[in-house]
Structure 1
Amino acid sequence: MNNVIHATNIERVEADVCIVGGGFMGAATARALAKRGQRVVLLEKGYCGAQASGVNYGGVRRQGRPVSQLPLSQRAYETWKRLPETIGTDGELLISGHLRLARSEADLAALHAYAEQANPYGLDLRVLEGPSFRKRYPWLGVRALGGSMCPGDGHANPRLVSPAFARAARAAGADVRDLTPVCETSHDGRRFLTVAHGPNGPVEVTSAWLINTAGAWGNQLAGRYGDAIPMKSIYPNLWVTEPLPFFIEHNLGVYGGGIYARQVARGNVVIGGGRGVGDGEHARPLSATTRAVMTEAIRLLPALRDALVIRSWSGVEGETPDDNPVIAPSRTTANLLHAFGFSGGGFQLAPGVGEVLADLVLDGATATPIGAFSLDRFDAAHRASQDNATGATS
């Protein structure tokens, strides 16, 4: 339990680790650290799991990720397989398989090439095409020429899973605080002081470590320590239909992106594609985007032709230029770790990210390769663009 001292109306808290951002990443990290004996304070400006972590599509997939993400994705997968014992609920997790569809011969060739790269990591991808594919999936439209199946992938309900990780972190001993936005943070050369304002007044958290899992707002915190990266806000466009007779067997994606769909046990079909709009803080879906993507979705899934869309939504996420996240120590400040910029693909990764960050705090390193997620890669890209602009060579 944290040592809490009250002076006047300010609550002062001593912790080993302070985590800013109570989405899936922050909650998984808090749980992993608390399970390893650390005194953890998690500060969330709203409610844990209520931002992008709770309103995303819910895909639990390894297939289609950059190869650099697969070791981390596999590590997360081990926790997904133990979800009920980890967080006390199955989160409506369904290991349905993930079928990534091809709409051209070039797409099929790319799926075969990706399978060769990814299968050494344990994905067990199998590419189907031609008459055998058509016979196996009569419910798909002729627009789908083939597909790559990852049998161990699936989908879950983010509205259940993300908050459940926050509850599991609290049960493990973490001090998890909703409605407690951070006002300022500083480092005195030895420890961090993080000032927030909770429902009962101001809170000062002193900690040896600070972890930035603030999602789409993570770059703002990183910038306070000179670690800002080129990142923009994106607003995924999602919607759900009325309940339909069950026909979609798998979590579906499309090579090249743009459409994804899954059907839940109640019969509703969750569909995503394109972008909504937002101002960096709030987001809303666009009906024009929904109509355009739905037209293409019907070509892949003819059973959607007469379906009613009953709800649409969006969220705010952070996108990096290479679609890879930052999972890295600060370049300027000891004991500061960043994990943000997941570019719409963080839901499946989160349990693994929490364990990796716990490794970095307690062991100083991790066995999971994270070099592709460094801050320095943006410096290299910036230097390369400057060299190209000036004609410099090395």
Structure 2
Amino acid sequence: MSSPHGAGRAHDADHGVAANARPRALPAHCYTDPDIFAVEMSALFARSWHLVGHASQVATPGQVLTATVGDEPVFVVNDGGEIRGFYNVCQHRGHELFPPERPGGDLLDTAGVITCPYHAWVYGLDGTLVSARSRDVGDVHIPRLQVDRLAGFLFVNVDLEAPPLALHAPGVEEELLALAPQAESRVLTWRRTHLIEANWKIAVENYNECYHCPNVHRSFTSGVVDPASYRIRPEGNVIRHTARGVPDEISRYTRPVDSDDYAAFYIWPASSFQCYPGQALNTYRWLPLGPDRTLLIREWWFDGAEPTEVQQGIIDLDWNTTVSEDLKLVESTQRGIRSRGYRPGPLICDPSGTASIHSEDAVAHLGALAASAFGDEQAPERA
């Protein structure tokens, strides 16, 4: 993949440095090329940690949660209190063992075993084949995945050699629990998906910069957070967003007095926790479906399966303002970068090193992560 730093000759009058010293957006083909997308699936998504749900969704033995990470169908199951993860694929002819993206809570049709709906091969909850319709077919196992937890949330990694989640996203669990101490006991209260006609990197870049917020997200910057306090700190695989909530008398979110902070923790490449004032905890997952298609999975986690009137008001306000506004932005960006007239411009980065609401330091950081996810020898050449 091309470097996020591009060449340029113009002088930067703002900071008195050559423009070619400033990071630039990734080249357009990084968001449109099917070959680059294929490499990302194999070299990045197949080696990373991905949020798939919460332990409350598989709290009972025999409960199953399905998800997709990158281009791989997966499932996690409660095996007598131990949470195990597997590829969601029968080892006979490849049929999915469970419907994809089922949000959890479902019990197995037959207690203690997994039965393929195609030819009725039966597996134990440890993935071992126990019956092939009375035929001896030898030692067969569903391939396993790594499963890890963060503040009650479940992550999987198809790479069995990958370092633990705590090393991939250091400090996030402690920081999230400080803001939302009940995170480990939360349940899925609301879920909505949306097909975005844009590359996954455009979606996460938009999420991780607030340079556009004063111009676009008027509800967010006037009724949720104090924009002057907004800070974005990219570090390793984590991008942290923090801000003070606005005073109670103008807040659009109901919250206890002792919990007025806002924070978001984006975990590379495609997961994020977001905690609005009042411990309104929600998550983002971005599922790449193609170079220009991404499934957004938006979920809210409260203390009950049905939202209260106040909680539903928070959910609706967020979707109808900030989320919907962003969906339009990223789809327009995807259309624009296809233009022959587009040239990646310099990113607006803060020379002080303190990224505020007026900078795009996180976009430069994401570009560097994308470029380093696989070596130059694997990066497809631009046509």
TM, length-normalised to structure 1: 0.22
TM, length-normalised to structure 2: 0.23
Q: Which has the higher helix share?
A: 1
Larger RCO of the pair (alpha carbons < 8 Å, separation 6+):
1
